């Protein structure tokens, strides 16, 4: 339809945080089949956001569909240079960065730093040019803490965990002053579908 819109996301994060699981959940595919991702994979899904169904029948938004184009990436550090390739090749609206509170902070912080640098590289391989482009770029950076079930849905604990990444996130904010920052706490395996949907609802509101 002509009034359909795209939500284009690069999914990044350390290995085993649940990137592929999130996309499988969205596509209602078998979670048991998931293996470690070894290469860049493009997942597409037409989304009818739950908020649309609440709009009046006269509203265009009620009939609007969102085409999610998600670039799933391998989290393993040896395969991480593919992130740069993916971001240069598939121009997305931004990054959905996933975190796992059951895994060590340090390795995930490195992954967050890598995603910062590779995203800048995707703007230009000349660091000064990339910094300049970043200053005006209205990207979306979405930080998603997954596996809330594994920490008994303890939001206090999840927020404390996310605080460990504050300094890196601040660097994102300084480098991308016009970017939009979002956070969410979910369990890909157990959250009700509305909570999964709300991630993409937030993306929609940030982008359109």
Q: Which residues bind Mg ion (CB under 5 A)?
A: 19-20, 37
Please, which contacts does 60-64 make with residues 24 or more away whose CB atoms are closer than 8 Å? 60/3, 63/1, 63/3, 64/1, 64/3, 64/4, 64/5
Q: Which of 75, 108, 120, 142 binds ligand GTP (CB under 6 A)?
A: 75
Locate 37 and state its tokens: 């991702």
- Tell me which stretch binds ligand GTP (CB under 6 A): 2-10, 14-22, 126-134, 193-201: 14-22
Q: Which of 10, 19, 26, 122 binds ligand GTP (CB under 6 A)?
A: 19
Strand residues in the chain grouped as ranges (E): 5-12, 41-47, 66-72, 94-99, 140-145, 180-185
10 binds ligand GTP (CB under 6 A): no
Judged by beta carbon distances under 5 to 8 A according to partner kind, the member of Mg ion, ligand GTP, none in contact with residue 122 is: none
Q: Which is nearer to Mg ion, 68 or 134 (CB)?
A: 68
Binding mask 163-202 for ligand GTP (x = CB under 6 A): ------------------------xxx-------------
CA 11 – CA 71 distance, rounded (Å): 6
Q: Are 202 and 142 contacting, i.e. CB atoms less than 8 angstroms apart?
A: yes
CA-based nearest residue to 137, from 84, 90, 180: 180
- The neighbouring-strand residues paired with 8 are 69
Which residue do the tokens 């609007």 mark?
A: 64
Q: Which is nearer to ligand GTP, 15 or 92 (CB)?
A: 15
Residues 140-159 that bind ligand GTP (CB under 6 A): 146-147, 149-150
Helices (H), 49-96: 50-53, 81-89
Judged by beta carbon distances under 5 to 8 A according to partner kind, the member of Mg ion, ligand GTP, none in contact with residue 18 is: ligand GTP
Q: Applying CB under 6 A, which residues contact ligand GTP? A: 13, 15-21, 31, 34, 36-37, 74-76, 146-147, 149-150, 187-189
């Amino acid at each position: 339809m002509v009034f359909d819109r795209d939500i284009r996301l690069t999914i990044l994060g350390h290995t085993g945080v649940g990137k592929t699981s999130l996309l499988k959940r969205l596509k209602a595919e078998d979670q048991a089949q998931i293996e470690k991702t070894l290469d860049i994979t493009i997942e597409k899904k037409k989304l009818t956001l739950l908020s649309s169904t609440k709009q009046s029948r006269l509203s265009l938004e009620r009939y609007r569909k969102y085409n999610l184009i998600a670039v799933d990436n391998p989290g393993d550090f040896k395969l991480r240079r593919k992130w740069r390739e993916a971001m240069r090749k598939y121009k997305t609206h931004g990054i959905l960065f996933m975190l796992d509170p059951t895994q060590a902070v340090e390795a995930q912080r490195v992954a967050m730093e890598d995603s910062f640098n590779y995203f800048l590289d995707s703007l230009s391989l000349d660091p000064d040019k990339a910094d300049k482009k970043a200053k005006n770029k209205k990207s979306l950076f979405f930080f998603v803490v997954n596996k809330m079930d594994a920490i008994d849905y303890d939001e206090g604990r999840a927020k404390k965990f996310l605080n460990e990444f504050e300094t890196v996130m601040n660097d994102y904010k300084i480098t991308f002053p016009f970017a939009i920052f979002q956070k969410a706490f979910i369990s890909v395996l157990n959250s009700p579908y509305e909570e999964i949907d709300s991630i993409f609802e937030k993306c929609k509101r940030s982008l359109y």
